């Protein structure tokens, strides 16, 4: 198999080019990008794509952005990327969100004059209002009442200015499920505050189970009910088919065993072992991550002493059937002492 660049299954180095897609995400990303540009809605709109850890959410988000940037000038939205996880615990997420929004809009000639200043004032008010669950008492109620009145007036001014904005604004947000509970709620509070902002779309990708549990641990309402109040449309990240999973695994294995002498890899034996055994273990991307990460660590120290195909087979047992592996460890060790063939 030729060694190719593939969908990286870690959030830190995801792909940006749909041409290199091996998991079937490109078509869905293009559909989503088309929908974002063509949909009509009177107010701000929140779209979420749910996917588990290491499922390729960041890659999908990058693909959507790619397709949005390929749109004709009259359709192409203003894209505002925001990653709150990079700021969590260090800076006020609300303030940094509006700073990023202002920074991007200020570079666009099509943005109406005065929007940046109004957003700055609105951000100051929103950032200064304490979170409702953080304090209680009459003093807080008075503070909130005064701040809310000022925020409402500024919000109306921002909305009036955004009506003049012809190009759609798409805010992409990743890594929400890495945030602490307080930061998650602060971020969702932004969406609530900007719900009526005309022509603004928020595209979020996160692990729904993590968010639901985090919210449920600190709120009286259920996490599901809370999300329903924030998100207008949600999708599950498409599951890659078996062929895509095989292709992804094989390319990863090519990288690991690139230095193995070809005469040690019996293709017929490899095909028999893979399709009669290993293939049954590979049901999702997380399985590939576990398996490849293990081989990345365990194979290099013994690469000159073992048969690569046999080593993959034994390691698959250790990763996916640890009880069977432990019970037969003695025989596995004796197996590896056999001469290479």
Q: Per-residue pLDDT tens for 81-122?
A: 998 876 655 457 877 888 888 888 778 777 766 676 777 777
Per-residue pLDDT at 298: 93
- Helical pair 223-230 and 208-216, crossing angle rounded to 10 deg: 110
- Is residue 222 pLDDT above 70, yes or no? yes
Between CA 262 and CA 304 the distance in angstroms is 12
Starting from the edge strand earliest in sequence, which strands make up the sheet with 233-236, in order?
Answer: 78-82, 169-173, 200-206, 45-50, 233-236
The pLDDT-based confidence of 141 (bands split at 50, 70, 90) is: very low
H/E stretch holding 255 reads: helix 242-256
Between CA 81 and CA 171 the distance in angstroms is 6
Between CA 237 and CA 247 the distance in angstroms is 19
Per-residue pLDDT of 13-43, as tens digits, reads 578 889 888 788 999 999 999 999 998 876 7
Between CA 267 and CA 271 the distance in angstroms is 6
What are the CA-CA distances from residue 103 to residues 91, 115, 117, 245, 333 (Å)? Answer: 17, 11, 11, 40, 60
Closest Cα partner for 248 from 219, 286, 217?
A: 286
Mean pLDDT rounded to a whole number for the chain: 79
Per-residue pLDDT at 225: 83
The pLDDT-based confidence of 5 (bands split at 50, 70, 90) is: very low
H/E stretch holding 334 reads: helix 329-336
Between CA 215 and CA 330 the distance in angstroms is 47
Between CA 136 and CA 192 the distance in angstroms is 21
The domains of the chain, with CATH numbers, are 11-236 (3.40.50.300), 242-336 (no CATH)
Per-residue pLDDT at 188: 85
DSSP 227: H
- 72-86, 150-164, 307-321: range with lowest mean pLDDT: 150-164
Averaged over 220-224, what is the pLDDT? Answer: 71
Paired tokens of 311: 């080593």
pTM of the predicted protein model? 0.74
Paired tokens of 114: 């005065």
Averaged over 214-238, what is the pLDDT? Answer: 81
Cα 204 from chain centre: 8
């Amino acid at each position: 198999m030729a060694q190719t660049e593939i969908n990286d299954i870690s959030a830190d180095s995801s792909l940006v080019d749909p041409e290199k897609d091996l998991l079937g995400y490109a078509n869905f990303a293009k559909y989503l990008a088309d929908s974002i540009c063509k949909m009509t809605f009177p107010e701000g709109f929140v779209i979420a794509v749910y996917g588990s850890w290491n499922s390729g959410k960041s890659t999908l988000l990058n693909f959507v952005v790619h397709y949005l940037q390929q749109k004709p000038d009259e359709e192409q939205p203003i894209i505002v990327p925001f990653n709150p996880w990079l700021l969590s615990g260090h800076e006020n997420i609300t303030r940094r969100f509006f700073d990023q929004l202002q920074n991007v809009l200020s570079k666009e000639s099509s943005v109406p004059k005065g929007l940046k200043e109004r957003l700055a004032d609105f951000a100051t008010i929103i950032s200064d209002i304490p979170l409702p669950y953080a304090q209680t008492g009459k003093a807080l109620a008075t503070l909130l009442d005064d701040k809310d009145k000022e925020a409402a007036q500024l919000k109306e001014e921002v909305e009036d200015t955004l009506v003049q904005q012809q190009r759609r604004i798409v805010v992409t947000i990743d890594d929400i499920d890495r945030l602490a509970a307080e930061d998650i709620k602060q971020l969702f509070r932004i969406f609530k505050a900007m719900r009526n902002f005309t022509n603004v779309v928020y595209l979020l990708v996160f692990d729904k189970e993590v968010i639901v549990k985090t919210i449920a641990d600190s709120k009286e309402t259920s996490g599901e009910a809370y999300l329903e109040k924030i998100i207008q449309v949600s999708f599950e990240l498409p599951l890659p088919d078996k062929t895509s999973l095989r292709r992804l695994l094989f390319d990863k294995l090519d990288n690991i065993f690139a230095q193995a002498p070809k005469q040690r890899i019996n293709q017929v034996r490899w095909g028999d072992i893979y399709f009669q055994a290993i293939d049954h273990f590979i049901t999702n991307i997380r399985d590939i991550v576990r398996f490849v990460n293990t081989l990345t660590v365990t194979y290099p120290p013994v690469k000159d002493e073992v048969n690569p195909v046999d080593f993959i087979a034994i390691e698959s047992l250790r990763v996916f059937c640890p009880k069977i592996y432990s019970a037969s460890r003695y025989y596995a060790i004796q197996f590896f002492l056999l001469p290479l063939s």
